[in-house]
Amino acid sequence: FSTSVPAATTPSASPATSYGDTREEFRKKFKNAIKINATKEMEKLLRNNLDETAIWVIELAHSQVIRPSDETADLFVQIEKTWQSAKRTEFPAEMRRFYEGLKGDEFKLYANLTRTYDKLVADYFAELNAEGGPKPTAMIDFADRFDSLCNDFEGLRCDFYASQCAAYAGVSWDKDRAKDLQDLKRACASYGRMIETRERMGLKDSILIQGKPRYQELMKLGYGPDGSGPADGEGEGEDEGSSGGGEAPAAAAAVEIPLEFELLESMEQFERPNYFVDEHYSIWHTLFLREVGSFTEGIHRLAPLIKRSGLPITARREGSAKFFVDMDGDEKMGEGDVEIPVKGKLEPVHFQFPVEGKTHHFAFFVQTGQEKDKYQGLDTNLQPSDRQVALYSSPAGSMVGTVGGETLRIIDEDLDGVYGGKIQSYGHVGLTEGHYQPEFDSMVVGNSKRAIPWSRYVKIDKQWYDLQSILDGTSLAAAPVTVATGELQLKFKGPKPNFVIVQGTDSMSEAFFDLAESSKVEVPTGTYKLLVGMIAQGKKQQVQKILMIPGSEEMSWTVGEGESVKVELGGPFKFDFG
């Protein structure tokens, strides 16, 4: 799994750590939600940006001790309340108590240890991104140093940084990075320390979620203390408790599934739960460039991955109709750079780059606009000019592997370079104020021609699996799970929806299902809420469509074992695309 959460001594200086909103976007949205007392929106933002919220908690708790203010105190109280209602753990309170409990020379010791940590993390990522990948000998050295630093933080009662160090030590001793020098017994012990500490302080974040299956696997392989496996009830795939939200399925040991990149054949290869996948290119993701010689670092939503790679990757306009991805930062098209073809029709763009020792693939279809076209029903000129150009883009990248004897394809629908990433919501043009459109990756199981939303829990053939994206989707952890199920049956009055996506709650919050997939959809027991849907009429450039998102009152349906629950949505209504 990836230890890509280097919280700095002053956490605001550290990189964003989630694949939801950027740090600035998340904090702005959360503060705006506080102003209007939008508690449900605050909970949603926290769930979708959990890693980022944890960094904010650390920052505020520390700041309130060394530079107290009423504003910081009020903000921390709001985050603490929201965390308790959304995640049902005491993580913010635990962090507040830790910082308030520091006395005298402990502040100086804390500052020294966190400076050491920041420097060690920076050196670690420099080694990961070194040409040719990290050296196993260096990884073992880093593992020893992180393990020692973990002990120092534990002596200070600093659970957060101790857990961070344990995670780094574990992954550095493990086979992917230590190679032939691997020490799986020490890796297992470090993972165990990380899990125990994170669960004690109530931080059930991506590091815990990604690391726990590997710990369970190593324990079952006999790498626990004295060759032991897990104790009764230990490491059984538990997640945070729920109230009416369903139990987390009991998982067997996870197996890491290798994934290979495949470029989609066309935009129409699969029917997908994506509002933007049709010929209305004017609302696609857009790569903006200005005059010849201009460039942008914002290649769609790839910025976080590019930042972690340390590479100077940009998109550049070299000529009136010449565009390319500058992979080496030399500002000119050359060997290793990738052309962005503009030929009046949809063309694929694919490039790859290393992040933390793993090769990441990114791909999209691209085209330019036409002189006479429509946008939001109005006649407009979308053709490139010498002053500016919009390169309209549609997702084209997928990672493919085999789970349970069936092919599984994961599609990067939101163009962030992560396959099986977190759901993200955006305030796109056309949405009313206060409403956001969720975007998420999709997956195709077996020979199906219809994609379903990426979901942690999915049934493949006759077996349910717990799936977790590893290292941004460069590989996949899959564990067979035993799960009680029921059915959701969509009863929709009106035109047939193209897709209707529901999301689980509490321990099933990472489960997503498309109720338009069939007349009855089998789901794990629990409570589900409406996430998003779409109704479309017409074909190709004549298609007209409507986005369905929940209103102010959240709709939910609870499914018990063996139950079939009707999800009644729809009219009476009619559409007039005038």
pLDDT tens, 32-59?
A: 999 999 999 999 999 888 889 999 999 9
Given a cut of 80, is residue 537 above it in pLDDT? yes
Q: Residue 88, SS3?
A: coil
Please indicate, yes or no, whether the overall pTM of this predicted structure exceeds 0.85. no
Q: Which of 54-63, 159-168, 222-231, 496-505 bottoms out in mean pLDDT, i.e. has the lowest?
A: 222-231
Q: What is the pLDDT of residue 446?
A: 95
Angstrom distance (rounded) from CA 229 to CA 226: 9
Q: What is the pLDDT of residue 282?
A: 85
Q: What is the pLDDT of residue 375?
A: 59
Angstrom distance (rounded) from CA 346 to CA 394: 9
Q: Is 181 exposed, middle or buried (0-12, 13-18, 19+ CB in 10 A)?
A: middle
Residue-averaged pLDDT of the chain: 87
Q: What is the pLDDT of residue 220?
A: 83
Q: Residue 192, SS3?
A: helix
Q: What is the pLDDT of residue 531?
A: 94
Q: What is the mean pLDDT of residues 98-123?
A: 92
Given a cut of 80, is residue 429 above it in pLDDT? no
Given a cut of 50, is residue 490 above it in pLDDT? yes
Q: What is the pLDDT of residue 266?
A: 95
Instruction: Yes or no: say if 438 and 500 are a contact pair by the CB < 8 Å rule.
Output: no
Q: What is the mean pLDDT of residues 225-250?
A: 48
pLDDT tens, 332-357?
A: 999 999 999 987 789 999 999 999 88
Given a cut of 70, is residue 377 above it in pLDDT? no
Instruction: Yes or no: say if 237 and 483 are a contact pair by the CB < 8 Å rule.
Output: no
Highest mean pLDDT among 88-97, 234-243, 250-259: 88-97
Q: What is the pLDDT of residue 228?
A: 53
Domain residue spans in the chain?
11-243, 273-400
Query: Which residue, among 349, 343, 371, has the nearest Cα to 300 in the 3D structure?
Result: 349
What's 195-234 look like in SS3? HHHHHHHCCCCHHHHHHHHHHHHHHHCCCCHHHCCCCCCC
What is the pLDDT confidence band of residue 251, given thresholds at 50, 70 and 90? Answer: low
The DSSP call for residue 249 is P
Given a cut of 70, is residue 202 above it in pLDDT? yes
Query: Which residue, among 534, 530, 549, has the nearest Cα to 427 in the 3D structure?
Result: 549
Q: What is the pLDDT of residue 246?
A: 54
Angstrom distance (rounded) from CA 8 to CA 55: 9
What is the pLDDT confidence band of residue 14, given thresholds at 50, 70 and 90? Answer: very low
Given a cut of 70, is residue 3 above it in pLDDT? no
Q: What is the number of other CB atoms lying within 10 angstroms of the CB of residue 334?
A: 11
Instruction: Yes or no: say if 391 and 250 are a contact pair by the CB < 8 Å rule.
Output: no
Given a cut of 50, is residue 19 above it in pLDDT? no
Q: What is the pLDDT of residue 577?
A: 53
How many helices (H) and strands (E) in the chain? 12, 30
Instruction: Yes or no: say if 370 and 389 are a contact pair by the CB < 8 Å rule.
Output: no
The DSSP call for residue 22 is -
Q: What is the mean pLDDT of residues 309-327?
A: 95
Q: What is the pLDDT of residue 94?
A: 92
Given a cut of 50, is residue 115 above it in pLDDT? yes
Q: What is the mean pLDDT of residues 493-499?
A: 91
Q: What is the pLDDT of residue 412?
A: 98
Given a cut of 80, is residue 468 above it in pLDDT? yes
Q: What is the number of other CB atoms lying within 10 angstroms of the CB of residue 384?
A: 18
Q: What is the mean pLDDT of residues 156-176?
A: 94
Q: What is the pLDDT of residue 217?
A: 86
What is the pLDDT confidence band of residue 406, given thresholds at 50, 70 and 90? Answer: very high
Q: What is the mean pLDDT of residues 219-239?
A: 58
Query: Which residue, among 153, 166, 160, 69, has the nearest Cα to 111 in the 3D structure?
Result: 153
Name, in order, each residue with C-beta under 8 angstroms of 71's C-beta and a sequence gap of 6 or more: none
Q: What is the pLDDT of residue 571?
A: 72
pLDDT tens, 411-421?
A: 999 999 999 99
Using CA atoms, how far residue 544 sits from 10, 375, 548, in Å, is 49, 12, 14
Highest mean pLDDT among 282-296, 414-428, 444-458: 444-458
Percent of the chain with pLDDT over 70: 89
Q: What is the pLDDT of residue 254?
A: 76
Q: Which of 6-15, 55-64, 76-85, 125-134 bottoms out in mean pLDDT, i.e. has the lowest?
A: 6-15
pLDDT tens, 385-400?
A: 899 999 999 999 999 9
What is the pLDDT confidence band of residue 243, given thresholds at 50, 70 and 90? Answer: very low
Q: What is the pLDDT of residue 574?
A: 59
Choice between 242 and 92, residue whose per-residue pLDDT is larger = 92
Q: What is the pLDDT of residue 425?
A: 85
Angstrom distance (rounded) from CA 365 to CA 263: 10
Asked, as a colleague might, if the bond just before 230 is cis with ω within 30 of 0, I would say no
Given a cut of 80, is residue 327 above it in pLDDT? yes
